[in-house]
Structure 1
Amino acid sequence: MNIKRWGVITAVAIGSVALLSAFKQTDKYFEIAKNMELFSAVYKEVNLLYVDEVNPSQTMTTGIDAMLESLDPYTNYIPEDKIEDFRTQMTGQYGGIGAVIGERKDKIIILMPYEGFPAQKAGLQIGDEILSVDGIVTTSKNSGDVSKLLRGQADTPLKIKVKRFNTPEPLEFTLVRQKIKISNVPYFGMVNTNTGYIKLSDFTQAASIEVKKALTDLKAKGATQIIFDLRGNPGGLLNEAVNISNIFIPKDKLVVSTKGKVSEWNTKYITELVPDDLNIPIAVLVSGRSASASEIVAGVIQDYDRGVIIGQRSYGKGLVQTTRELPYNSQIKVTTAKYYTPSGRCIQAIDYAHRAADGSVSKFADSLHVAFKTTNGRTVYDGGGVTPDITVVQDSISPILVALVSKSLLFDYATEYRSKHESIGDARTFNLSDRDYQDFVTWLKDKDYSYTTKVEKTLDEMTKQSKQEKYFDAMKDQLDQMKKVIAKDKENDLIKFQSQIMEYLEEEIASRYYLQKGIIESSFDSDKDIQSALEVLNNKTKYNSILSGK
């Protein structure tokens, strides 16, 4: 075949492909236009003819939310009235009094004042029940409504009336709102004479600056090794994950790359600064609720063999979101790419692209996970979060502890304890005695903390099934006997799970005196992840062996 003939055939083939592509693109645009017209027609007819009055904005928001929900949980529509909340989430800033509030037994309660902000400075305490804000009675409102009353422009005054345990008359406080910047690092301190501890709870603006400061201060206090706690951290700003990684790894190193359908989202993020410390031993703590940016940092530390990862497998969110402005001051947060750690792995755990017929999604099968190599040649895998180098198995939470927490009984007892004890000494060394615990057990006698164990639920299901299958008459005596045995044994649960309940109660009480700092410091001795981190950091042979892969 001559070159001229081959060129003609090739041109025809290319033209056919281009034409086919154009047809497909045209079909796609037609489908979009058709469905937009259908959606508009349905929306119009419902608003015009539906038997009851329809709120147009609410109906449209519901429709948009349902559409985006079919994609993934992170692609969200943000209407104008929610923009301020979204900005607070991204920046960690708002105008208010600096306190977390919540509902306890149909009451609006101060759950945690932030240290150094108006609520704490004015003397509001954990457990105070909010009765009114600027004369507006709050007893019939939910926590969201009360939160809106507390927030406002910085430098504006407000009055709060509260009821405090063991105080006969309501207390009134006058506060001045200020710009609240929630710290990304709610706590850093020394666990022992040479081990520093940094808790990072978010990746909002300036997170890397806060981590740098914490590291510098801890080293000045004698820290020669660091526990970096990312447990429960849901993530946040990608650039902050890059900057925090840069604290511990060299300049000009790949931190993360993103790949999406649109080429502009295909980006490589490289460290640009001189690191703060390349050598200090690090133990990074992760949990099943460590996600997104926290997984990037943990993945970077692991891929470069810079530190040991300890805890439980992380959540597995390897998706990147971008915020785009929409008409009428609304926005959309849309998933635009997947991210990949330096070794090349994507740690996304759930496959949203392939849904079952019922709309459900599942995790990527273990058989589909691909192996990658760290700098030192250790094997790591994609498709399921960051797997720790040392997995720590946590004790299961007993049903009785769940009941005591959910019914706010530990919360209430800690508040009452605070009213009777002026101080508890240092949170690290605070421990309840057996006599203290017996006082708590006595206090519980007239309280309702009923609960159903898994064994009881199984027994109830057996009873139900035996009746359906006509075995109940033959099994009735045995079932009744088992119920009696379980009921009798449950009477001992307060003793059987004493150590677990006491640990939680000690942290709750410590918070009444030292707020967030008290909860963290009180847990140092009982926290299995922290104890595992100390064990490996103090054993340099084991630490180096893990990182070398030997």
Structure 2
Amino acid sequence: MAKKYLKLVVAWIAIVCLLNSTAVYARENVSDSQTKNLEYLEAVMEMILEKYQGEITIQELIDGAIRGMFNTMDPYTIYYSMDEAQDFLGQVNGSYEGIGVTMRRNGKYIEVIRVSESSPAEKAGLYPGDRITAVDGTSVVEATLDEANSLIRGSSGTKVVLEVVRGEDVRKIEVTRGEILYNPVTYRINGDIGYIKLEIFNSNSADEMRKALKEMDKKKIKKIVLDLRDNPGGDVSQAVAIARMFVPAGLITKLDFKSDATPDVEYYSYLKKTKYDLVMLVNEMSASSSEIVAGAVQDTKAGILIGTKTFGKAKVQSIIPLLAPEAYEKYKKQLGVEVVNAYDLIYTYNIIPLEEEIIGYSKITTGMYTTPNGRMIDLVGIEPDIEVEDPELVNGVDVRSIEKLSKTVKYTIGSEGADVYHAENILKALGYNIDDPDSKYDKKTFEAIKEFQKKKGGYSYGIMDFTTQQWLNEELDKLLLEYDKQYAKAIEQLRQAEVLQ
């Protein structure tokens, strides 16, 4: 219990870092009108408990009242129950307890689109393209992602049985849940240009970005495409850490907080000389922390922004754990002040509350940020230096989501693997007769590979050997340049820079 409790406290501190509020409220600060309003809310709850024909507890009413208050503010201010908070904190912390898959709704099905390396899901034999139809016997057909996710996640060491459709087969796969460390960084090297995709700013982002850049340095790569498209943001400290890898010495961003108890913060880069020729890809879903990095790169001319105008969110949220009513009363008697924010106990009184003393978390807008040049981009966004429209699907396939084939296993009819899923996506994008991509090498895939091999002038025998996989990888490069115009423009800009030098 102590170990789990310590982990929870570390999670709190890691997320809010410099974004926490330290105000403590006493009854003397509450006006007569506020007191009357509080008494009125108490009377409403008493009336509900007396009149409502149904099951409801005072705890549920308090939870609903808190949720309602936070819902009246901007769209980014939210109340999370403890279960909801664990999911959110897992996203920002980059770790959670589960099986290690990324899913999407595809029609009425929940489809696996990514399986984390060395995860419980990978060890149990789940692959991209698998359609999950039931979890521990409960159907998830027509379910939302949140509904499916709540059934699949669980404590490390516990087991979950998934009913999975793969091709025409239906099978049950038992997975033992574990601690998942989510790596939001993927990268590849094409010739003398490196490509890095960052999906979210979680606690692993900066470390994983350093690893990717270390590989670039080993290969003497100086030209980088940094893809922040569809990146919704996340931890400000991670955004600053990544900006420091690309932005020259000077201001990165300034955070301006409403509360006098929370000092404004200026973040600086200390990079004496930029190391890379940088092109950053952005779109209308690049938001928040993505815009901190994009704004710093654009204002300091550390790189070129290509794509479409960003989302436009300059609001900064703090994650604040809220004391439950019983804990509130307990510490009111103990300290003589009315404390709701659990951080006040930690930072002001050096008291760490018990886990069961927390009713939930608030994610509340506490400040705004500006770019190095003082631009306020909230509700405005950042205009790219070069505007290029977003790519469209190619025969129903998003070519950006396809991963290169590993060339480690040869595949034939009956074989299964993630490479099969990505190969089928490439073939479908090229116009071959393929069913919905999955990880099973079926007869249609076999025939499509034979046709592909013949077109490439090779031996047409339907086995996806290493030569065939290399051909498919080359075709993927061509698809990206043809259909992802933003990426193609980035490559063009970096090539032009090479000519100019």
TM-score by length of 1: 0.62
Alignment partner, residue 342 of structure 2: none
Q: 1:541 to 1:144 in 2, by over 3 A?
A: closer
Q: 1:289 aligns with which of 285, 294, 307?
A: 285
Alignment partner, residue 316 of structure 1: 312
Q: 1:144 to 1:541 in 2, by over 3 A?
A: closer
Q: Report whether the alignment pairs 1:524 with 2:480.
A: yes
Q: Report whether the alignment pairs 1:540 with 2:500.
A: no
Q: 1:535 to 1:421 in 2, by over 3 A?
A: farther
Contact preservation (8 Å) 1:165, 1:419: no
Q: Report whether the alignment pairs 1:214 with 2:212.
A: yes
Q: Deviations over 1:486-523 (max 9, x none)?
A: xxxxxxxxxxxxxxxxxxxxxxxxxxx99xx9999685
| Cα distance between partner residues in 1 of 2:317 and 2:421 | 46
Alignment partner, residue 265 of structure 2: 268
| Cα distance between partner residues in 1 of 2:431 and 2:321 | 60
| Cα distance between partner residues in 2 of 1:156 and 1:49 | 42
Q: 1:91 to 1:543 in 2, by over 3 A?
A: farther
Alignment partner, residue 472 of structure 1: none
Q: How does 1:70-219 map to 2 (within 5 A)?
A: 70-104=72-106, 106-130=108-132, 133=135, 136-139=136-139, 142=143, 143-167=145-169, 170-185=170-185, 187-190=186-189, 192-219=190-217
Q: 1:519 to 1:108 in 2, by over 3 A?
A: farther
Give the letter for the 1:263 counterpart. Answer: D
| Cα distance between partner residues in 1 of 2:271 and 2:492 | 30
Contact preservation (8 Å) 2:391, 2:484: no
SS in 2 for 1:263: coil
Contact preservation (8 Å) 1:258, 1:265: no
Contact preservation (8 Å) 1:292, 1:319: yes
Displacement, 1:266? Answer: 3.7
| Cα distance between partner residues in 1 of 2:266 and 2:475 | 36
| Cα distance between partner residues in 2 of 1:538 and 1:140 | 48
| Cα distance between partner residues in 1 of 2:73 and 2:475 | 38
Alignment partner, residue 354 of structure 2: none
Instruction: Give me the CA root mean square deviation.
Output: 3.8
Contact preservation (8 Å) 1:226, 1:280: yes
Q: 1:543 to 1:386 in 2, by over 3 A?
A: farther
Contact preservation (8 Å) 1:428, 1:521: no
Q: Deviations over 1:364-397 (max 9, x none)?
A: xxxxxxxxxxxxxxxxxxxx11110111134677
SS in 2 for 1:248: coil
Alignment partner, residue 43 of structure 1: 45
SS in 2 for 1:205: coil
Q: 1:424 to 1:122 in 2, by over 3 A?
A: closer
SS in 1 for 2:320: strand
SS in 2 for 1:325: strand
| Cα distance between partner residues in 1 of 2:259 and 2:484 | 44
Alignment partner, residue 337 of structure 1: 367
| Cα distance between partner residues in 2 of 1:393 and 1:104 | 25
Q: 1:317 to 1:52 in 2, by over 3 A?
A: same
Give the letter for the 1:538 counterpart. Answer: R
Q: How does 1:372-521 map to 2 (within 5 A)?
A: 384-394=380-390, 430-432=426-428, 436=432
Alignment partner, residue 453 of structure 2: none
SS in 2 for 1:217: helix
SS in 1 for 2:179: strand
Q: Deviations over 1:429-485 (max 9, x none)?
A: 945587725x779xxxxxxxxxxxxxxxxxxxxxxxxxxxxxxxxxxxxxxxxxxxx
Give the letter for the 1:259 counterpart. Answer: D
Q: 1:223 to 1:323 in 2, by over 3 A?
A: same
Contact preservation (8 Å) 2:76, 2:363: yes
Q: 1:518 to 1:347 in 2, by over 3 A?
A: farther
In our comparison, the structure showing a higher alpha carbon Rg is 1
| Cα distance between partner residues in 1 of 2:474 and 2:161 | 28
| Cα distance between partner residues in 2 of 1:519 and 1:108 | 29
Alignment partner, residue 70 of structure 2: 68
| Cα distance between partner residues in 1 of 2:65 and 2:236 | 30
SS in 2 for 1:295: helix
Displacement, 1:63? Answer: 3.6
Displacement, 1:541? Answer: 8.7
Displacement, 1:205? Answer: 0.5
Name which of structure 1's ranges 208-217 and 33-42 shifts more when overlaid on structure 2.
33-42
Q: Report whether the alignment pairs 1:279 with 2:281.
A: no
| Cα distance between partner residues in 2 of 1:426 and 1:161 | 22
Listed as ranges, the gaps of 5+ residues in structure 1 are: 1-25, 350-383, 406-416, 442-512, 545-550
Contact preservation (8 Å) 2:110, 2:140: no
| Cα distance between partner residues in 2 of 1:434 and 1:144 | 33
Displacement, 1:188? Answer: 0.4
Q: Report whether the alignment pairs 1:305 with 2:301.
A: yes
Contact preservation (8 Å) 2:315, 2:369: yes
Q: 1:347 to 1:180 in 2, by over 3 A?
A: same
Contact preservation (8 Å) 1:101, 1:111: yes
| Cα distance between partner residues in 1 of 2:117 and 2:423 | 16
Contact preservation (8 Å) 2:158, 2:176: yes
Name which of structure 1's ranges 257-266 and 72-81 shifts more when overlaid on structure 2.
257-266
Displacement, 1:59? Answer: 4.3
| Cα distance between partner residues in 2 of 1:163 and 1:429 | 18
Give the letter for the 1:344 counterpart. Answer: G
Contact preservation (8 Å) 1:311, 1:392: yes
| Cα distance between partner residues in 2 of 1:425 and 1:104 | 15
Contact preservation (8 Å) 1:138, 1:146: no
Displacement, 1:47? Answer: 2.5
Higher relative contact order (Cα pairs below 8 Å, separated by 6+ residues) = 2
| Cα distance between partner residues in 2 of 1:194 and 1:160 | 43
Contact preservation (8 Å) 2:308, 2:384: yes
Name which of structure 1's ranges 262-271 and 202-211 shifts more when overlaid on structure 2.
262-271
| Cα distance between partner residues in 2 of 1:288 and 1:247 | 24
Alignment partner, residue 233 of structure 1: 231
Contact preservation (8 Å) 2:94, 2:204: no
Q: 1:224 to 1:127 in 2, by over 3 A?
A: closer
Q: Deviations over 1:23-69 (max 9, x none)?
A: xxx99833322322222222221222134444544544444333323
